[in-house]
Amino acid sequence: MKPFLDVLAGKATARPPIWLMRQAGRYLPEYRAIRSQARDFLHFCYSPELAIEATMQPIRRFSFDAAIIFSDILVIPDALGQSVRFAEGEGPRLEAMETPEALKGLASALDEEKLEPVYNALRGVRAALPPSVALIGFCGAPWTLATYMIGGRGTPDQAPARHFAYQHPEAFQSLTDLLVEACTRHLCLQAEAGAEALQIFDSWAGNLPERELRRWSEAPIGRIIAGVKARHPSVPIIAFPRGIAGGFSRFVSETNCDAISLDTACALSDIRKQLPPGMVTQGNLDPLVLINGGSGLDAAVDHILESTAGLPHVFNLGHGILPPTPIPHVEAMLRRVRG
Ligand code: 1CP
């Protein structure tokens, strides 16, 4: 019995299952200890033993209902031949692709052999997980991947990719098509290696106007979901289109996702009116309220529990957990969610 998968199938449970986006990572002392063993972050992602250990750490400590494989969305550009590195303390640095000519340097398909360590890690985690805990595989959505591939790094407003898409819509469409194929393949291979649910992170969807959201976020995600479902019809797919405010109704109908992960700014008291009846939701505690803890945290947790009572909901954050989060606050949140 896996409560997380029950909820994804549309069943409401007395208490919501819980996991946290970025639950494996720098807020855990045991993660920082093994991270220092690897040469660099990508090397860490491609070392199955380390990736398995990082995936299992939050499960051992907190008994979350789901484990998310330790990897990164940027393994896809790396496996398409773009240079990707993680500067210590600064985040990802890619060789920026600012012109249509630069995109011609990309491979025409994913280097699956390069990603084999990720699939090996999934197999290892699946074998190690307790029977009640589900395993999640993931990828970045084409739009979010493109923002890093074109900008060369995380940018405050994704302006490089937005300019590129306005200036060179055909080249941007070709890049999107390539990423749709790569993401579909990567998700299928993760399902074949043991992932029981999949999440697509469109962390930067919120900067797209309505028509661009349709073209660069919804349409490609819809194609990925259709492609994965054709081979793995029973694996549920969660989409995380961060920051799309009033756009959920169309997003869900255009993409056909099984569940929608709601960001921090999304009003739970209102969201049901936008969503089809019975739609599975996930989210959306503010990662900053978790850092602050205390009665503010209790009230925020209660608000989510009350707003989603009797509905198929997975308790989560509205965005990834942040490195300064105190572990006692995570424990307090878990006690409250679990009653
Ligand atoms: O040195 C380190 O330890 C690097 C920190 C780190 C970690 C722990 C990075 C660099 N990535 C990760 C792991 C990671 N990334 C996971 C693992 C599983 C888990 O959730 O526990 C996942 C799901 C991701 C997904 C990811 N990577 C996203 C989408 C989710 C989100 O937070 O919006 C994005 C945008 C990235 C890119 C990325 N990788 C790393 C960083 C610091 C960033 C963000 C860069 C930026 O925009 O500034």
Query: Residue 39 pLDDT more than 90?
Result: no
pLDDT tens by residue, 41-97: 999 999 999 999 999 999 999 999 999 999 999 999 999 999 999 988 789 999 999
Q: How far apart are CA 187 and CA 179, in angstroms?
A: 12
Active site residue 26: yes
**Domain total in the chain:** 1
The pLDDT score that the predictor gives to residue 183 is: 98
pLDDT attached to residue 261: 98
What does the alpha-carbon distance between residue 299 and residue 191 come to, in Å, rounded to a whole number?
Answer: 37
Torsion of Cα atoms, 285 then 287 then 292 then 296, to 10°: -10
Pick the catalytic residue from 72, 215, 286, 336.
72
Give the mean pLDDT of 241-267.
Answer: 96
Average pLDDT (323-335) is 98
Interval 187-199 mean pLDDT: 98
> Has 231 been annotated as catalytic?
no
Cα–ligand 1 centroid distance for 24 (angstroms): 10
pLDDT (tens digit per residue) in 260-293: 999 999 999 889 889 999 999 999 999 999 999 9
Atom in ligand 1 nearest the alpha carbon of residue 319: 32
**Residues 50, 65 contacting (CB under 8 angstroms):** no
Domain CATH number, residue 217: 3.20.20.210
Mean pLDDT for the stretch of residues 222-239: 98
Query: Does residue 153 carry a catalytic annotation?
Result: no
What pLDDT is stored for residue 121 in this prediction? 98
pLDDT at 87: 82
**Measured between alpha carbons, how far is 180 from 141 in angstroms, rounded to an integer?**
8
C-alpha pair distances (Å), 225 with each of 51, 60, 222, 231, 233? 26, 31, 5, 10, 10
**Mean pLDDT taken over the chain:** 97
Residue 236 pLDDT exceeds 90: yes
166 is catalytic: no
For residue 254, report the distance from its CA to the centre of ligand 1, in Å. 27
Mutate which of 47, 53, 57, 73 to test ligand 1's pocket (most atoms within 8 Å of Cβ)?
73
- Helix residue ranges, H only, the chain: 3-8, 29-35, 41-45, 48-62, 75-79, 100-103, 116-128, 142-151, 159-167, 169-192, 210-212, 219-231, 248-255, 268-274, 287-292, 294-308, 327-338
Q: Is 15 a catalytic residue?
A: no
CA atoms of 219 and 250, how far apart (whole Å): 11
Q: Cα separations (Å) of 12 from 110, 309, 312?
A: 38, 8, 4
Identify the residues whose C-beta falls under 6 Å from ligand 1: 21-26, 35, 41, 68, 70-74, 86, 91-92, 138, 140, 154, 201, 203, 319-320
CA-to-CA distance for 82 and 97, rounded, in angstroms?
9
Which range has the top average pLDDT, 26-30, 33-37, 87-91? 26-30
Q: What is the pTM of this model?
A: 0.97
For residue range 117-170, list pLDDT tens digits in order.
999 999 999 999 999 999 999 999 999 999 999 999 999 999 999 999 999 999
Which of 148, 202, 223, 258 does the annotation list as catalytic?
148
Rounded mean pLDDT, 242-263 = 96
Domain membership of residue 319 as a residue range: 3-338
Tell me the average pLDDT across 318-333.
Answer: 98
| In the chain, % of residues over pLDDT 90 | 94
Return d(Cα 252, Cα 205) in angstroms, integer: 14
